[in-house]
Amino acid sequence: MSRLVKVGVIGTGFIGPAHIEAARRTFLAEVVALADVNEEVARSKAQQYAVPRFYGDYRYLLRDEEVEVVHICTPNYLHYEMSREALLTGKHVICEKPLAMKRKEAEDLLELADKKGLLHAVHFNIRYYPLVREAKWMVKRGEVGEVFAVHGSYLQDWLFYDTDYNWRLEPELSGESRAIADIGSHWLDLIEYVTNRKVKEVFADFATFHKVRKKPLKPVETYAGKMLQPEDYQAIPIYTEDYASVLLHFEGRAHGVLTVNQVAAGRKNRLYYEVDGSRCAIAWDSEKPNELWIGRRDKANEFLLKDPSLLGQETRAIVSFPGGHNEGFPDTSKHFFREVYRRILEGDFRVKNQREFPTFVDGLREVVLSEAILESVRSGKWVQVN
Ligand SMILES: NC(=O)c1ccc[n+]([C@@H]2O[C@H](COP(=O)([O-])OP(=O)(O)OC[C@H]3O[C@@H](n4cnc5c(N)ncnc54)[C@H](O)[C@@H]3O)[C@@H](O)[C@H]2O)c1
């Protein structure tokens, strides 16, 4: 049997177990250790997910010599410190988004990873839906023509009630921006990826509909809040945005607009975009990820269904099943991690000019975009993205 990459996962709430499962499904890796807030939590998660070693302090996981790559799946404020320490101990890093809470931190991480010659990745997994990649290649092959306009949204309803609560509502744990940094970052990453165009300036409007929320007096894992019967709450003032709309100017002539809203009833987790080009339009909805809409002026519109026989070779690389067999969220991370692990197995840790997985370069880019958007809200003006 060929050798497997040895993986360690820090943070085992919502997304950590998704990393563990996806890592295993690559058939290229073995999850050898996990870490969480304390020994008791780590032990029970290790038992639940059949991971052989567990640590109640992530620093012990970083000292585990067998671990080659560390997946960081903790709240945002820990990403910088954990990524930095992991790189310093010589581990490759796959960090959750956002890479850091401040631009300077993200820049430091990129510099350190390059200096250490280690692989670095930020989990912008939505790039790995087959029809997202196909859309990118349609733009690249010129089938969409010149990109005139881009519009879309990322909507969720898990913070709909003022009794919905999570660490993401606390700026010291999550950052100064919430909806933009948490889900807007996925949309912005995706749209620059698909259109191959950078956003050059932004103009933003924020709103916080629940200015006070009721915090449960016991901890709640992400998305589990909906299942709780509210018993005892503490009133907490909310300073970050439930909602944001951002006007966008791209390099070249393209214009765009994004709306994110975490209190949009009925929208569970819906990322939607539409690209209006000079030859056709394309649209994709993450809640129906196996369909790509192609809009035509002079003939009937089309729906391209995910089917490897109908997709370009770049897309086929991230398709596991034939047409009609739907692929979804868990498959995106599988394909993402496969690219990272292959590079580890090949011993090729260069990240410059690579066309594969998103790296700390992309993580830094999203922090820079978030900061420009925040600056626009503060100043009430268009802000250049530098
Ligand atoms: N790419 C995606 O699609 C996606 C989806 C969800 C979350 N995320 C990102 O993943 C990260 C985690 O989000 P989540 O929804 O899983 O949160 P969560 O609250 O469900 O889980 C966080 C986990 O980290 C653990 N943790 C907290 N402090 C720790 C510490 N000091 N040491 C070790 N473990 C610690 C918690 O106990 C918990 O197990 C966030 O940064 C979020 O932005 C990304």
- The yes-or-no verdict on residue 113 having pLDDT over 90 is yes
**Atom 33 in ligand 1: which residue has the minimum CA distance?**
36
pLDDT higher for 5 or 217?
5
DSSP E strands, the chain = 5-10, 29-35, 53-55, 69-72, 92-95, 120-122, 147-156, 199-207, 212-216, 233-237, 243-250, 255-261, 269-277, 281-285, 291-295, 302-305, 383-384
- The yes-or-no verdict on residue 310 having pLDDT over 70 is yes
**Is the CB–ligand 1 distance for residue 38 below 6 Å?**
no
User: How far does Cα 148 stand from its chain's mean position?
Assistant: 26
- Best of 9, 10, 15, 122 for a ligand 1 pocket test (most atoms within 8 Å of beta carbon): 15
Atom of ligand 1 nearest to the CA of 329: 3
Confidence of residue 354 (pLDDT cuts 50, 70, 90): low
Distance 239 CA to ligand 1 centre (A): 21
Confidence of residue 217 (pLDDT cuts 50, 70, 90): confident
**Is the CB–ligand 1 distance for residue 78 below 6 Å?**
yes
| pLDDT tens-digit series, residues 21-64 | 999 999 999 999 999 999 999 999 999 999 999 999 999 999 99
Nearest to 110 by CA among 121, 97, 98: 121
**Is the CB–ligand 1 distance for residue 189 below 6 Å?**
no
- The yes-or-no verdict on residue 351 having pLDDT over 90 is no
**Is the CB–ligand 1 distance for residue 59 below 6 Å?**
no
| pLDDT tens-digit series, residues 53-90 | 999 999 999 999 999 999 999 999 999 999 999 999 99
Mean per-residue pLDDT of the chain: 95
In angstroms, the Cα distances linking 351 to 72, 163, 359 are: 19, 44, 8
Tell me the one-letter amino acid at 271: L
- The yes-or-no verdict on residue 229 having pLDDT over 80 is no
**Is the CB–ligand 1 distance for residue 35 below 6 Å?**
yes
**Is the CB–ligand 1 distance for residue 366 below 6 Å?**
no
pLDDT confidence of residue 356: 79
**Is the CB–ligand 1 distance for residue 14 below 6 Å?**
yes
pLDDT confidence of residue 131: 98
**Atom 29 in ligand 1: which residue has the minimum CA distance?**
37
- The yes-or-no verdict on residue 91 having pLDDT over 70 is yes
Sketch out the chain's domains with CATH numbers: 5-126+336-356 (3.40.50.720), 130-325 (3.30.360.10)
Percent of the chain with pLDDT over 90: 92
Confidence of residue 223 (pLDDT cuts 50, 70, 90): low
Confidence of residue 17 (pLDDT cuts 50, 70, 90): very high
